[in-house]
Amino acid sequence: MTDGAAAAHPYQRVAAALRDRIGRGVWPAGHRLPSRQALGREFEVGENVVRRALELLVLEGLLEGRAGSGTYVRARQEQRFMLRSLVGRDGGPAPHGFDGTWEAESVARVAAPGPVADRLRLRDGELCVRTAYEFLAPGGRPVMLSTSWEPMTVTGHSVVLLPEGGPLAGRGVVARMAHIGIEVERAVEFVHPVRLDRRQAELLGTATGTLAVGIRRTHYDTDDRPVETADMVIPVEHWDVAYEIRLDGSGTKGLRATDGWPGTP
CA 145 centroid distance within chain: 3
Alpha carbon distances (Å) from 35 to 16, 53, 65, 198, 201: 17, 13, 12, 20, 20
Nearest residue to 199 (alpha-carbon basis) of 57, 32, 67, 35: 67
- CA pair distance 248, 31, nearest whole angstrom: 53
Q: Rounded mean pLDDT of 50-59?
A: 89
For residues 123-153, b (16+ Cβ closer than 10 Å) or e, as one string? eeeeebbbbebbbbbeeebbbbbbebbbbbe
pLDDT for the residue numbered 7: 41
Collapsing DSSP to helix, strand or coil, 10 comes out as helix
Give 87's pLDDT tier (boundaries 50, 70, 90).
low
Q: What is the pLDDT of residues 126-176, one digit of tens each?
A: 999 999 999 998 888 888 999 999 999 999 989 999 999 989 998 899 999
Q: What is the pLDDT of residues 213-226, one digit of tens each?
A: 999 999 999 999 99
Contacts with 111 (C-beta within 8 Å, 6 or more apart), sequence order: 117, 125, 126, 127, 128
pLDDT for the residue numbered 90: 59
Q: Rounded mean pLDDT of 105-134?
A: 95
Check whether 49 has a pLDDT greater than 80. yes
Give 249's pLDDT tier (boundaries 50, 70, 90).
low
Q: Rounded mean pLDDT of 224-247?
A: 89
Q: Which of 63-77, 83-97, 246-260 has the lowest mean pLDDT?
A: 246-260
Q: Rounded mean pLDDT of 202-207?
A: 82
Nearest residue to 155 (alpha-carbon basis) of 92, 93, 227: 227
Q: Rounded mean pLDDT of 25-39?
A: 93
